[in-house]
Amino acid sequence: MDDLRSIRTLATVIVSTVGAVWVIRRTLKNRSRLPLPPGPKGLPLIGNLLDMPLDSSWEKYHAWCKQYDTDILYLNVAGKSMVILDTVEAANELLEKRSLIYSGRPRMPMVVELMGWDFNLGMMDYGNVWRKHRRLAQQTLHPSSSRPFRPHIVKATRNLLNLFLERPQDLERNLRHMVAETVIAVTYGLQVKKEDDLYFKIAEEGSGAMGRVASASTKYLVNAFPILKYVPEWVPGADFQRIAREGKVLAKNMVETPYSAANAAFEAGEAEPSFVSASLQKMKEGNEGDVYQEEIIKNSAGAVYAAGSRTTVSIVLSCLLALVKNPAILKKAQKELDTVLDSGSLPTFDDEPDLPYVTAVVNEAFRWRDVAPLAVPHKLSAEDEYKGYRIPAGSIVIANGWAMLHDEKIYPDPFTFNPERFFKDGKLDLETQRDPAHACWGFGRRICPGRFMGYSSVWLAVASIISTFDIEKPRDENGNEVEPQEEYNTAGLTIMAKPFAYELKPRSQEKAEVIRQSLSFST
C-alpha cells in the first residue's frame, strides 16, 4: 500500500513538473512572438547608435515617447537593448512591482572594473554581495538610526553661512566645502576645517576622477568592448589604461585613508558618532555578522561620499538660482521664517513642521531641476512583457525621472518654479500633490538609501541661507537688473548649474552677527 502511494506521489510530481515546464516554454514561445516596444528605426548592425543624444538625453527620449505615443521606448544600440520608461506608472509597474528581475546593473568596465569602483553600492550588480552592503546602508542611514549624525549637518551648515560672509561670490565652492564637511563627518566622524585638509582633497580627487570618466563614458571603447580591458597600457590607443590606473589609486585613497583614521579613533575610544563608528560598534557586539563585517563597512562608507557630494551641491545651487529669478518667492519664505524663529536664532530640524512654505521651496527645487534625470540604469535579468510588448532579457532599463517630474498632467506648467503647487486648501500636501520623491531618488530595490539624510541636508542649508541672506539679481552700471542665465552642465549622470549672476549679502548686521555667534555653538 505504501509503495502504491509512493508511485502515485511520484507520478503526480512528474506530471506537475512536465506540465509546469510545458506552460513555461509555451509562455516564453508566445512572448517571443510579441513585438518590441516602439522606437526609432535603426540601421543594420549598429541600430540606433547614431541616433543617441550626446547631451540632455532625457529630453530626446521624452520627445521620442511623444512621437511614438508610448510610455515605454525601445532602442537598439549596436545590438544592446535599451528600454526607456517615461511615466511613473511604467516605472512603478516594472521597477517597483517586478523589482526581483529589474534590479541589476549594466556592466561598467571602465569605472567599476578598471578604476576600482567595485566597492560602490550603487554600481554593484544585484546579488548577495549587493544585498549585504545595501542592508548595512539601509539600517545605518534610516531616519531613526541616523539621528545622532544630525549635529554634523548643523555644524557644517553654520560653517557654510560663515563662508558666505567671507566670500559671497564663491557659491559653488562654499557649497562643496559644506557637503564635504558634512559627508566626511557623518560617514567617518572626522572633521574638515580647511580646503587643503587631507580628507577633503582625497574625496574631491577620487570622486572628481570618476565623475569625469563617467560623464564621457561613450568616449571609452572598453565600455562597448570589455575585452579591451586586457590590452596593455603601452599599446597605442590604450591611454584609457593610464587614466584608469591613476583613477584607481585615487579611489583606493578615498576608501582606505579616512576609514583607517575612523577605525583608529574607534579603537582608541575617541570616535565621534558616525556611520563607521555605529557600524564598528555593532560588529564588535556581534550583531548580524553577515552584514557588519569590516570590508562591507569600509566599502559602504566609501560609497556614501560618492553618492551625496554632487547631488546636494546641485540641488542647493538650483534652488538659489530659482530664488534669484523669483524674488517674490524668496520674500515669502523669509517672512515665514521671521514669523516662526525667535530673534537671533537660526533654523533647526525641529522647526521643519512649522515652515511649510520653506519645505515646499525645497521640494520644488528637487522637482524643477532633477539632479540625476535618468539616475543609474537598471538591467533586466529575465525576459518580460509589458502592455503586450516583449522586453528582452539583459536589456538596459532607464527611468526618465525628468519626464516624470515635468509631466504636465501631474505638475501643471512644469517648467515654472512654483512652490505653491504643493499646497492644497492652504496647507502643505505632499501626498495628493505628488511628492517629487516618487521619482528623484531612484526606484525599487535600487532607491537611494541615503535619501533621508540627503533631503535633511538640503532642507537645513536652504532654510538657513534664506533666513540670513538676501540673494538677488545683480545690477549693471546703469542700475538695471541683470537676469541670470539658466545654463547647466548636462553631459553626465548628474546635472549642475553653471555659474550665474547674483548678489548675496546678509539681510542685516544682526543676521551677520547671529551667523558669527553660531560658530561657537557648533564647534
Residue pair 77/49 in contact (Cβ under 8 Å)? The answer is yes
Q: List the one residue out of 392, 372, 332 whose CA is nearest residue 454.
A: 372
- 3 state DSSP class of 264: helix
- 3 state DSSP class of 14: helix
Q: How far is CA 261 from CA 270, 304, 424, in A?
A: 11, 16, 49
371-256-142 Cα angle (round to 5): 50
Q: How many CA atoms lie within 13 A of 64 on its CB side?
A: 23
| CATH class label, 34-522 | mainly alpha
Residue the block writes with cell 512652490:
419
Give the pairing type, strands 427-428 and 396-399.
unpaired
- pLDDT of res. 216: 73
| Full DSSP string of 20-38 | HHHHHHHHHHHHHTSPPPP
- pLDDT of res. 288: 60
**Torsions phi, psi of 287, nearest 5?**
-80, 130
- pLDDT of res. 171: 95
Low-confidence ranges of the chain (pLDDT < 70): 1-31, 196, 215, 288-289, 308-309, 520-523
What one-letter code names the amino acid at 3?
D
- 3 state DSSP class of 5: helix
| Domain residue spans of the chain | 34-522
What one-letter code names the amino acid at 140?
T
For 38: left if phi > 0, alpha if psi spans -120 to 50, otherwise beta; the answer is beta
Residue 368 CA to residue 366 CA, distance in Å, equals 6
- pLDDT of res. 219: 78
Q: E strands within 179-275?
A: none
Give the pairing type, strands 396-399 and 80-85.
parallel
Residue 266 CA to residue 302 CA, distance in Å, equals 17
Residue 139 CA to residue 315 CA, distance in Å, equals 25
Give pTM, 2 decimals. Answer: 0.89
Give the pairing type, strands 389-391 and 384-386.
antiparallel
Helix H or strand E encompassing 158: helix 150-166
Q: Is 448 annotated as a binding residue?
A: yes
What one-letter code names the amino acid at 479?
G
- pLDDT of res. 304: 84
